[in-house]
Amino acid sequence: MPIHLYWGDDEAARTRAVEALIAELTDPAWQSINLSRLDGSDAVQAAQALAEARTPPFGGGDRVVLLQRSPFCSQCPAELAQQLEANLELIPNSCHLLLVSPGKPDARLRSTKALQKLVKAGGATEKSFTLPAIWDGAGQVELVQRTARELGLTLEPAAAEALSDAIGSDSARLASELEKLSLYVGSGKPITAAAVAALVGSQATNALQVGDALLAGRPAEAIALVEALLAANEPALRIVATLSGQIRGWLWVSLLDRQGEQDVNAIAKAAGIGNPKRIYVMRKQIRGREPKRFLQLLSQLLEVESALKRGSDPGDAFRDGFLLAS
């Protein structure tokens, strides 16, 4: 199958899969000739990738043309889409065009439709690498287990849960910690929860935990969580953005519940929430709280954002503009 479509926001997993495919298909002795790494954000290089993918390999192994940030399934110009369609049937079986992009393919594009048609016909492969949402606990545990399998490691169930709590959706750190843990427990031995506690440490902090603390009326805990995030080099404005989305979601659910709306799909659509099942969790979180509480939190977030953009120290901005506001 000469076409490979890899997409998704899990960059660490994507990179592992790309390098594994390159190692599988190319001969190390001829890799300098038969491997091309190009950047699809440059239209010239995107067109070059199509041309090189038609060129048979030299020496041993197959040819691989890697196109990072592929435009063919996102914002693809009509001329480039035509070139893709014209070249799809011309790529020999000994050449592999590897298209990599962080976003989900846009199904409306003619170039995407052409690639999807090829996937269904068996002439191309497609793999997605998506990170679970930070509120998706089961998805995060599955991410840990999947990463361990990719690295050839075994995990006790409790260890997978402990790693999920400690790392969350940080895929790059997860792979690094798993490799350290494998050395810690010894070759061939399963990674235990005790090893995770000894080597990785305590539960991770994320911005949603800050929102939960604020909602529960625990400002001191929220301050500590924000400080932990900042100490871990989490961008302050990203914390604000995450909190804003979380609190807006609560506000929408609260308002629609008061209007008597029962359809979780309608609520999720109005609130901009991708997974309707999350509505059940949010309803439990905000039970008994007035919409004005969420408006107050959003107003305080605006003060934090304003202070950050004026150049205030992030810790001071959160404490003074938001967490300690009346």
Partners of 124 in the beta sheet? 3
Say whether both 39 and 84 belong to one domain: yes
Is-contact 98 66, C-beta < 8 A?
A: yes
Domain of 148, in residue numbers: 137-199
Check residues 211 and 168 and name the one with the higher pLDDT.
211
Say whether both 103 and 16 belong to one domain: yes
> In this predicted structure, which of 114-118, 199-203, 281-285 has the lowest mean pLDDT?
199-203
Say whether both 98 and 54 belong to one domain: yes
Q: What are phi and psi of 235, to 5 degrees?
A: -60, 135
Structure tokens at 250: 């609560």
Say whether both 234 and 163 belong to one domain: no
Q: Tell me the pLDDT band of 89, cut-offs 50, 70 and 90.
A: confident
What's the pLDDT at 324? Answer: 57
Position 308, amino acid: L
Q: Tell me the pLDDT band of 256, cut-offs 50, 70 and 90.
A: confident
Position 170, amino acid: D
Say whether both 114 and 39 belong to one domain: yes
Count how many domains the chain has.
3
What percent of the chain is modeled with pLDDT above 70? 95
Say whether both 169 and 214 belong to one domain: no
Partners of 96 in the beta sheet? 64
Q: What are phi and psi of 188, to 5 degrees?
A: 80, -10
CATH number of residue 190's parent domain:
1.10.8.60
> In this predicted structure, which of 68-77, 219-228, 308-317 has the lowest mean pLDDT?
219-228
Residue where a domain stops, chosen among 81, 111, 128 = 128
What's the pLDDT at 221? Answer: 83
Structure tokens at 292: 């004005």
For residues 41-62, give the mean pLDDT: 92
What's the pLDDT at 63? Answer: 95
Q: Is the pLDDT of residue 25 over 90?
A: yes
Say whether both 121 and 158 belong to one domain: no
> In this predicted structure, which of 83-92, 99-108, 119-128, 197-206 has the lowest mean pLDDT?
197-206
What's the pLDDT at 1? Answer: 59
For residues 260-264, give the mean pLDDT: 81
Say whether both 123 and 154 belong to one domain: no
User: Sheet holding 63-68: strands in order across?
Assistant: 35-39, 63-68, 95-101, 3-7, 124-128
Residue where a domain stops, chosen among 76, 101, 128 = 128
**Local structure of residue 236 (DSSP, 8 states):** H
Position 100, amino acid: V
For residues 181-201, give the mean pLDDT: 86
What's the pLDDT at 204? Answer: 55
Partners of 38 in the beta sheet? 67
Q: Tell me the pLDDT band of 135, cut-offs 50, 70 and 90.
A: low
Q: Is the pLDDT of residue 325 over 80?
A: no
Q: Tell me the pLDDT band of 147, cut-offs 50, 70 and 90.
A: very high
Q: Is the pLDDT of residue 154 over 60?
A: yes
What's the pLDDT at 202? Answer: 54
CATH number of residue 231's parent domain:
1.20.272.10
Q: Is the pLDDT of residue 123 over 60?
A: yes
Measured at the alpha carbon of residue 216, what is the angle toward residues 214 and 221, in degrees to the nearest 5?
55
Q: Tell me the pLDDT band of 200, cut-offs 50, 70 and 90.
A: confident
Say whether both 9 and 105 belong to one domain: yes
Say whether both 228 and 187 belong to one domain: no
Say whether both 247 and 288 belong to one domain: yes
Most trustworthy range by pLDDT among 1-5, 8-12, 35-39, 72-76? 35-39
Most trustworthy range by pLDDT among 26-35, 200-209, 225-234? 26-35
Say whether both 9 and 121 belong to one domain: yes
Q: How many other CB atoms are found less than 10 A from the CB of residue 55?
A: 15
User: Residue 248: which of 282, 275, 218 has the closest Cα?
Assistant: 282
Q: Tell me the pLDDT band of 193, cut-offs 50, 70 and 90.
A: confident
Q: Tell me the pLDDT band of 205, cut-offs 50, 70 and 90.
A: low
The Cα–Cα gap between 113 and 98 comes to 17
Q: Is the pLDDT of residue 163 over 80?
A: yes
What's the pLDDT at 134? Answer: 64
Residue where a domain stops, chosen among 153, 169, 199 = 199
Q: Is the pLDDT of residue 137 over 80?
A: no
Residues whose CB is less than 8 angstroms from the CB of residue 213 and which lie 6 or more positions away in sequence, other chains included: 219, 221, 222, 225
Q: Tell me the pLDDT band of 300, cut-offs 50, 70 and 90.
A: confident
Is-contact 52 84, C-beta < 8 A?
A: no
User: Residue 1: which of 163, 135, 124 has the closest Cα?
Assistant: 124
What's the whole-number average pLDDT of the chain? 86
CATH number of residue 97's parent domain:
3.40.50.300
What's the pLDDT at 5? Answer: 95
The Cα–Cα gap between 88 and 299 comes to 53
